[in-house]
Amino acid sequence: MTGAQTEACIRGTIHAAFTLGYDVTLVGDAHTTQDLTAYGAPAPAEVVAHTNLYWKEQRAPGRRGDTVETAKVSFAARAVG
Structural domain harbouring 51: 6-72
For residue 1, tell me if it sits in a domain.
Answer: no
pLDDT in tens, 30-63: 999 999 999 999 999 999 999 999 999 999 999 9
Amino acid at 4: A
Q: Measured between alpha carbons, how far is 31 from 26 in angstroms, rounded to an integer?
A: 9
Residue 63 lies in a domain: yes
Task: Check whether 19 has a pLDDT greater than 80.
Answer: yes
In a domain, 79, yes or no: no
pLDDT for position 68? 95
Residue 58 has a pLDDT of 94
Please report whether residue 80 resides in a domain.
Answer: no
Answer yes or no: is 81 within a domain: no
Nearest to 1 by CA among 19, 21, 25: 25
C-alpha 15: how far from its chain's center?
9
Count the domains in the chain: 1
Residue 49: strand, helix, or coil: helix
